[in-house]
Amino acid sequence: MTTQALLDNLEEAGCGPEFAERFLALESAGQYREQLKLLSDHRRHLLDCLHREERRIDCLDYLVYQLEKRCTIES
């Protein structure tokens, strides 16, 4: 994988410039396990964000359900 392809992939994954710089430094040093740890940590962060947004969607769905139920009763 070229450096540019790697940088593009990291950017698409939501990794910032500091992350990419650290990742490339680890690559140069041959510290592949540390690279895996960085990627794993970022993945965990993304999943935490996803779960938080899912909970927000669930709250909105509940409010929509309650309002639709009220509209049905009042009709």
Q: Is the dihedral of CA 61, 65, 66, 67 positive or negative?
A: positive
Domain boundaries, position 55? 3-74
In the prediction, which pLDDT does 74 show?
82
Task: Give how many domains the chain has, as a whole number.
Answer: 1
Q: Which residues of 8-45 are buried (b: 16+ CB within 10 A; e: fewer)?
A: eebeeeebeeebbeebeebeeeeeeeebeebeeebeee
Q: Digits of tens for pLDDT over the chain (75 positions)? A: 899 999 999 999 999 999 999 999 999 999 999 999 999 999 999 999 999 999 999 999 999 999 999 999 887
In the prediction, which pLDDT does 1 show?
86
Please indicate, yes or no, whether the overall pTM of this predicted structure exceeds 0.75. Answer: yes
DSSP state of 30: T
